[in-house]
Amino acid sequence: EPEVTQTPSHQVTQMGQEVILRCVPISNHLYFYWYRQILGQKVEFLVSFYNNEISEKSEIFDDQFSVERPDGSNFTLKIRSTKLEDSAMYFCASSSGSHNEQFFGPGTRLTVL
């Protein structure tokens, strides 16, 4: 069964450093998302991406964040200058259509020291 994959599973970085989180969505899906979940809190939407552009973003997704689909398979989330409060699980999700079911990857645990 096709699934969303994410790398790395765990990333430890120093405050102020740049990190890139990588995702490979399900191959025939066209809609891609990033969510995050701070420990003990709810899953929060960050950004949605369709047709090589951002379709929607939340207040969390400020100028420090960017997304890119560098090739036909990868979807990346970049945090330019990490802060302590960026520590969270970051989930990539993909969907075959807008408003359709979203399937989540296993997540990347980001720890900012």
Partner 1 sequence: QKEVEQNSGPLSVPEGAIASLNCTYSDRVSQSFFWYRQYSGKSPELIMSIYSNGDKEDGRFTAQLNKASQYVSLLIRDSQPSDSATYLCAVNIGGGSDTLTFGKGTMLLVSP
Q: How far apart are CA 23 and CA 46, in angstroms?
A: 15
The site for partner 1 (CB under 8 A) is made up of 31, 33, 35, 41-45, 48, 55-56, 58, 89, 91, 95, 98-99, 101-107
Write down the residue that tokens 């949605």 correspond to.
48
Shortest separation between residue 55's beta carbon and partner 1, angstroms? 7
Shortest separation between residue 105's beta carbon and partner 1, angstroms? 6
Pick between residue 7 and residue 44 the one whose CB is nearest to partner 1: 44
Shortest separation between residue 77's beta carbon and partner 1, angstroms? 15
Shortest separation between residue 109's beta carbon and partner 1, angstroms? 9
CA-based R_g, the chain, Å: 13
CA-closest candidate to residue 45, choices 58, 32, 26? 58
Pick between residue 3 and residue 85 the one whose CB is nearest to partner 1: 3
